[in-house]
Amino acid sequence: MRGESCTGKTRASFEAIRACLKDWQLVFPKSARRLLALIDAEVLAPRTVLWLNEAQNFLIGPDGEEVAAALHSQLEQPGPVVILGTLWPEYHRTLTATRKPGKDAHPNARALLNQVKPVDVPVSFAATALRSSLVHRDRSLATAVSTSAGGRITQTLAAGPQLVDHYHQATSHNPYGHAVITAAMDARRLGHTSPLPSALLKAAVPGYLTEQERAGADPDTWFAQALAYARERVMSVVAALEPVASTDGMGALPDIYRLSDYLDHHARTVRCSAFPPDSFWTAARDHAASTPDLEALANAADHRGRYRIAADLYQRAADAGGTGALAELAWRRGRAGDLDGAEHLYQRLIDAGDTGALAELAQLRQRAGDLDGAEPLAQRAADAGDAGPLVELAWRRGEAGDLDGAERLAQRAADTGNINALVRLARRREEAGDLDGAERLAQRAADIGSRDALIRLAWTRERAGDVEGARRWRQFKL
């Protein structure tokens, strides 16, 4: 069920289950780890509904890819079992987006969700539906219809507009509460997906206040009063900051809060172009709940051109064990010309078992002109499944006039199934007039299974007007 915040996804799901699967058992895990434990224990019996409310909380985060893979496997087991999830459109886009070159954060989630045809829940009801006599028989629905703009009655019923008003009105009578909520909104929209520590919110607040407001705060009471305002339930339904249930038992986790979904959605509209103050970033660096949160906030700062802030957050994430942040720092050192610093960081990644760092370090040494030093790293990367550095190194050897060395590396890459270097080198030998050498390399590529590559080379010769050369490329057989 795909829809914006407070559009009725959960209610629609409940009514669908009650109408169609009323005799089935319902399993409602509260966290990704609980879900994984359920699947690992193989306790999902036939005629079970596995309900993932706000599925982004299961599919985004440190356990997200493991959850997606487990759900995919569950769907391959004997059933019948129904997996029902609710998801915001923007999270659906994030999880199903085509991978970017060199980056693929959600391959398992994309494979899972691409099998699904979402049921879209509109943000508003059609006018014809709201004129139904059934609506006006219920006082709360009738009131919602009369007070909602554009048919958005579910949001009214969920007290969303009142909550937004509660937030905005605080600027005049409780600026500290307003600042706490704003800091939470910024943290959430910029990538802090974990529940928010109160220490982060408290440290972030000063930058959201005027000098006069800061001077007027009672050091002993201001934060408690601000937090009380943020936790005040609007219409006895919802608060800006909600408590987070303990994972081990009853009660709430101390000093940990979750931002209301409706305010999260509101923030992405009204504060989409706002950049938080310095106090927010310092608070995030010192108090972010997890390494993935730090990395996400660093990415947000980087995308907004705040490179110093991003570097501080990446460093904090790397110090906490974040390999993604460590890789980002290594790349930045390399771009800045600090080759020793970049190599040191890449070596840390390699020591931690990151095979991708082998390729990055090999390419860094190549760009620095250290082809001999790059070669053993490129070979290790190829052994780990990435022959790209070998292909590039072969090209660079050829550019330097070392065709024998280039051929040796091209053959190594071909041994892993990557014939790109052989094809490039064949073209280079042909252009140099060494037709025998070109044909020998082309035949090797063909023997590995690259007739398509040879056909492309033939087309290249044809476009250049070399009909005989094109015929020669096409004569090779697999």
Q: Structurally, how many domains does the chain consist of?
A: 3
**184 and 251 share a domain?**
yes
Residue 347: C-alpha distances to residues 361, 389, 472 (Å): 8, 16, 46
The rounded distance, in Å, linking the Cα atoms of 362 and 364 is 5
**208 and 170 share a domain?**
yes
Domain boundary among 254, 270, 289: 289
The answer to whether position 348 is within a domain reads no
Q: Which residues contact 145 (CB under 8 A, 6 or more apart)?
A: 130, 135, 136, 151, 153
**283 and 246 share a domain?**
yes
Q: Measured on CA atoms in the order 340, 317, 201, 163, is the torsion positive or negative?
A: positive
**34 and 131 share a domain?**
no
For 368-382, b where at least 16 C-beta lie within 10 A, e where not — what string?
Answer: eeebeebbebbbbbb
The answer to whether position 315 is within a domain reads no
The answer to whether position 313 is within a domain reads no
**104 and 183 share a domain?**
no
Domain boundary among 267, 289, 311: 289
Three-state SS for 415-426 is HCCCCHHHHHHH
**279 and 254 share a domain?**
yes
pLDDT of residue 102: 62
Domain boundary among 269, 289, 309: 289
The answer to whether position 89 is within a domain reads yes
Helix or strand run (H / E) with residue 325: helix 323-335
Helix or strand run (H / E) with residue 144: helix 139-147
pTM: 0.63
The answer to whether position 371 is within a domain reads no
The answer to whether position 397 is within a domain reads no
The answer to whether position 384 is within a domain reads no
The rounded distance, in Å, linking the Cα atoms of 205 and 214 is 9
The answer to whether position 29 is within a domain reads yes
pLDDT of residue 261: 83
For the chain, 478 residues long, the average pLDDT of each consecutive 10-residue run is 87 92 92 92 91 92 92 90 93 86 82 92 88 84 76 79 90 92 96 94 96 94 96 84 86 92 86 93 92 92 90 89 82 77 78 75 75 77 75 76 76 74 73 70 68 62 73 59
**23 and 70 share a domain?**
yes
**177 and 282 share a domain?**
yes
pLDDT of residue 478: 36
**20 and 54 share a domain?**
yes
Structural domain containing residue 225: 160-289
The rounded distance, in Å, linking the Cα atoms of 410 and 390 is 7
**263 and 229 share a domain?**
yes
pLDDT of residue 477: 45
Contact 184, 230 (CB under 8 A): yes
Omega prior to 80 cis, within 30 of 0 = yes
**61 and 151 share a domain?**
no
**219 and 251 share a domain?**
yes
